[in-house]
Amino acid sequence: MNTRTAVIGVGLVVVAVVLFVVLGGGSSDSGSDSSTSADAGKVPTVVVNKQGEPVGGIAELTYKKGDRIHFKVEVPFEEEVHLHGYDVMKEVPKGGGTVTYDLPAELEGVFEAELEGRGEQIVELKVEP
């Protein structure tokens, strides 16, 4: 292999790494971020582990009054997810699954979502003016 071929090969590797970082965003969408903004363009997903705890800690979600509150919760077992303040309960079926919250942000304040049966807070939801 000559020097020119080696330089071209190294250049292709550098371009591939740069494209991977730029296009991939350098992170995964596993829902493990403990702070998530509704403006991120993706639906925030809170993942609960088998011990009944939110992966990455309690998710902090912030919305503006008049926007839509939109997030998902993945739970690996049967449970009820309760969004306090808005008083919306969602049933996770036996064997686990995902529930989706999609409602207007009408009430200002700080609210929590919890695994009702376990009393485990998984979300701190803020609705700002």
Here the CATH number for the domain that contains residue 71 is: 2.60.40.420
Cβ(105)–Cβ(122) under 8 Å?
no
Report CA 54 to chain centroid distance, whole Å.
10
In this prediction, residue 42 carries a pLDDT of 87
- Do both 99 and 124 map to the same domain? yes
Say which residue the tokens 């991939």 belong to: 24
Indicate whether 105 pLDDT > 50.
yes
- Do both 49 and 96 map to the same domain? yes
Residues belonging to the chain: 129
- Do both 60 and 13 map to the same domain? no
Task: Give the residue numbers spanning the domain of 123.
Answer: 35-128
- Do both 78 and 120 map to the same domain? yes
Indicate whether 84 pLDDT > 50.
yes
Q: Compute the mean pLDDT over every residue in the chain, rounded to the nearest whole number.
A: 78
pLDDT tens per residue, range 37-49: 344 468 999 999 9
- Do both 21 and 79 map to the same domain? no
In this prediction, residue 123 carries a pLDDT of 98
Q: How many domains does the chain have?
A: 2
Residue range 95-118: average pLDDT? 97
